[in-house]
Amino acid sequence: MLGSTAPDSEAAGRHILVAVAWPYANSPVHMGQLAGAYLPADIFARYHRMRGNRVLMVSGSDSHGTPVTVRAEAEGTTPEEVYQRFHRTFLETWAGMGISFDLFTSTDTPNHVAVAQDMFRRLLERDFIYEGEQTLLYDPKAGRFLPDRYVEGTCPFCGDPNARGDQCDNCGRTMDALELKNPRSRLSDATPEPRQSKHFFLRLSAFNERLREWVEPQTHWRPAVRNFTLGLLREGLHDRAITRDLSWGVPIPLEGYDEKRLYVWFEAVIGYLSASKEWAASTGAPEAWRAWWEGAEARQYYFQGKDNVPFHTTIWPAMVMGYGELNLPYDVPANQYVTMSGSKASSSRNWAVWMPDYVARHDPDPLRYVLTALMPETSDSDFTWAEYVRRNNDELVARWGNLVNRVLTMTRRNFEERVPAPPSTLAPESQAMLEAVDAAFEEVAGHIEAVQLRNALGAAMGVAQAANRYLDERAPWTAVRSDRDHAAETLYVAINVVSGLATLLQPFLPFTSQEAWAFCGHAGDIQAAGWTRTPVTPGTPLPEPHPLYKKLDDALIEDEESRLGR
């Protein structure tokens, strides 16, 4: 009864691919992106690792694409320099926030180029890619075709004279650059002219029915993801051009296309596969990636923000179907958006909390906690600094951190800094308390496996609350003077609950869970101990604890709010 119990909701040893959105390497990641994809992916990966499953968590910098080029030209530098600079900020953010990638690479690697070109070639051979003509704007002075963002002109909808070719910032309408009135090139003072250009197209229309048959039975997908995808398929997918007249990107592996590149939306999703191969090669087992990509035992989860859903539920699956042999996604647990103080995050208005800034000023676990509690799994949610301070102080500090602190300081003071011995038979409420922790492993596991992380965290925190209640009922601070054995039992049980909670919370709060684990007298890495309550045995010396979390002052709210939008 005093031992631990292990949940067995699914066989250990399963291969889990945790595929996470590739951030565009032209700005640092902000809090919304963290909450939307990186944090949920990390929680999911950490849990599965503890369960003994074989996790491969990959992503990388999306180093190609027009915004990287635009930024490079604006700064008078190269696209390489731009993406490498932001790649470094990504790595710092993952380290600072504990986002535990097995590999975070980039699309600018020889491996990725080879894998992307292989995908292109096979789809071309199978006639899922074909060549066609497209009318695009051409700058006769610069001697090149212009991406939509390189064209400016008068908006055909609202008449704003400074609309970009892809979208008008004034009225928000999107358009084809050919629709602009009085177009002008951003590369020269020339007037762009429409010209025919040859491009390759992905035959998405050929996959419409197969995709529909595949998506229809995915009832474990989030309703918003499945419904949205079925809506796209009902309207019918259109073939899309997958090449552009650019020099920065993956070259087309055919003669005579030196001035064209694969377009990022086609090429970047291949990164999941190329990163898996790169990871395998780096371990000295180049074929090891197959375990996550072939066979019914492996499962692939693609963590995304909602804006990326079409790419992961239609385009990438279509590419995989066309390519053959590889597994399709098991789930695409896309999140909605986290808004900042009521408004959508926006780079141009600087309405965002940039993660490098956060990491420089604050601790990782409180933000991981707050963003998990607010995770926009069903609808958009709103982040405010007031809510951050409130949840930190009332929930992390008061409910969980204080539980750890009160139990350990009381025990050390009264029982010679060691875990006290309980009587041979535990009181019913003590047994019930231990059973509650052990039962929580099953419950939290079920929520995480269903990618319902908010509920998972809530279930774990519910145990902390039950433990505070248990302490209050047993009042060991009183019992220690009248009935020492009674107090010993209470504190022994409470320390074991803390040990279990440290593990339950580890996927969410990896930094402080490791500390709480050590406070229980355990040595080594909490993750290695597995998804189960590690028993704390009587007599174990207890190190001196310190508070796991800082209580935050309300002044922080105003300080941080004032940084938004300026």
Is position 136 an interface residue for RNA (rule: CB under 7 A)? yes
Exactly one of 394, 416, 429, 554 binds RNA (CB under 7 A); that residue is 394
Rounded to a whole number, what is the distance in angstroms from the first to the last CA of the chain? Answer: 58
d(CA 456, CA 149): 43
* Dihedral angle sign, alpha carbons of residues 389, 395, 398, 402: negative
Is position 399 an interface residue for RNA (rule: CB under 7 A)? yes
Q: Closer to RNA by CB, 214 or 531: give it.
A: 214
CB of 90 to RNA, least distance (A): 15
The binding track of 325-364 with respect to RNA, each residue x by CB under 7 A or -, is -----------xx------x--------------------
Exactly one of 253, 310, 356, 530 binds RNA (CB under 7 A); that residue is 310
Residues from 49 through 68 that contact RNA (CB under 7 A): 62, 65-67
The binding track of 12-31 with respect to RNA, each residue x by CB under 7 A or -, is ------------x-------
Q: Which residues pair with 392 in a beta bridge?
A: none
Q: How many residues bind RNA (CB under 7 A)?
A: 77
Exactly one of 57, 116, 264, 355 binds RNA (CB under 7 A); that residue is 264
Q: Closer to RNA by CB, 56 or 262: give it.
A: 262
Q: Closer to RNA by CB, 126 or 469: give it.
A: 469
Where would I find the H helices in 216-313?
Answer: 223-235, 264-267, 271-282, 290-293, 309-310
Is position 477 an interface residue for RNA (rule: CB under 7 A)? yes
Closest CA to 159 of 175, 150, 174, 170: 170
Q: Closer to RNA by CB, 62 or 139: give it.
A: 62
Q: How many other β-carbons are positioned within 10 Å of the β-carbon of residue 308?
A: 20
Rg (alpha carbons) of the chain, rounded to whole number: 27
Residue 21 and residue 334 in contact, taking contact as beta carbons nearer than 8 Å: no
DSSP letters of 55-101? EEEEEEEB--SHHHHHHHHHHTS-HHHHHHHHHHHHHHHHHHHT---
Q: Closer to RNA by CB, 262 or 280: give it.
A: 262
CB of 536 to RNA, least distance (A): 18
Is position 240 an interface residue for RNA (rule: CB under 7 A)? yes
CB of 382 to RNA, least distance (A): 4
CB of 73 to RNA, least distance (A): 16
CB of 456 to RNA, least distance (A): 12
- The token pair that represents 525 in the structure block: 């890495």
Exactly one of 84, 109, 134, 282 binds RNA (CB under 7 A); that residue is 134
Residues from 165 through 204 that contact RNA (CB under 7 A): 165-167, 174, 176-177, 199
d(CA 421, CA 537): 8
Exactly one of 75, 258, 380, 559 binds RNA (CB under 7 A); that residue is 380
Exactly one of 44, 207, 263, 415 binds RNA (CB under 7 A); that residue is 263
Q: Closer to RNA by CB, 14 or 210: give it.
A: 210
DSSP type of residue 221 = S
Residues from 515 through 554 that contact RNA (CB under 7 A): 547-551
Where would I find the H helices in 475-526?
Answer: 476-482, 484-505, 510-519
Closest CA to 145 of 197, 191, 199: 197
CB of 163 to RNA, least distance (A): 11
Q: Specify the stretch interacting with RNA by CB under 7 A; choose among 39-47, 77-85, 227-235, 497-505.
A: 227-235
Q: Closer to RNA by CB, 414 or 506: give it.
A: 414
Amino acid at 334: A
For tokens 């030196």, name the residue: 258
Where would I find the H helices in 98-199?
Answer: 110-125
Q: Closer to RNA by CB, 298 or 334: give it.
A: 334
Q: Closer to RNA by CB, 128 or 228: give it.
A: 228
> Is 523 buried (19+), middle (13-18) or exposed (0-12) by CB count in 10 A?
exposed
Closest CA to 276 of 501, 15, 562, 549: 15
Exactly one of 355, 453, 471, 497 binds RNA (CB under 7 A); that residue is 471
CB of 371 to RNA, least distance (A): 11
Q: Closer to RNA by CB, 32 or 507: give it.
A: 32
Is position 475 an interface residue for RNA (rule: CB under 7 A)? yes
Is position 433 an interface residue for RNA (rule: CB under 7 A)? no
Coil, helix or strand at residue 141: coil
For tokens 């051409």, name the residue: 138
Q: Specify the stretch interacting with RNA by CB under 7 A; choose among 32-40, 112-120, 231-239, 515-523.
A: 231-239
Exactly one of 335, 381, 490, 499 binds RNA (CB under 7 A); that residue is 381
Q: Specify the stretch interacting with RNA by CB under 7 A; choose among 112-120, 161-169, 179-187, 516-524.
A: 161-169
Is position 405 an interface residue for RNA (rule: CB under 7 A)? yes
Residues from 85 through 124 that contact RNA (CB under 7 A): none
d(CA 397, CA 261): 52
- For 94, 97, 355, 385, the CA distances from 359, given in Å and listed in that order, are 10, 7, 6, 15
Is position 212 an interface residue for RNA (rule: CB under 7 A)? no
Strands 381-383 and 243-244: unpaired
Q: Specify the stretch interacting with RNA by CB under 7 A; choose among 74-82, 112-120, 351-359, 391-399.
A: 391-399
Exactly one of 287, 472, 525, 544 binds RNA (CB under 7 A); that residue is 472
d(CA 300, CA 448): 15
Q: Closer to RNA by CB, 378 or 562: give it.
A: 378
Q: How many other β-carbons are positioned within 10 Å of the β-carbon of residue 95?
A: 13
Torsional class of 503: left (φ above 0), alpha (ψ -120 to 50), beta (otherwise): alpha
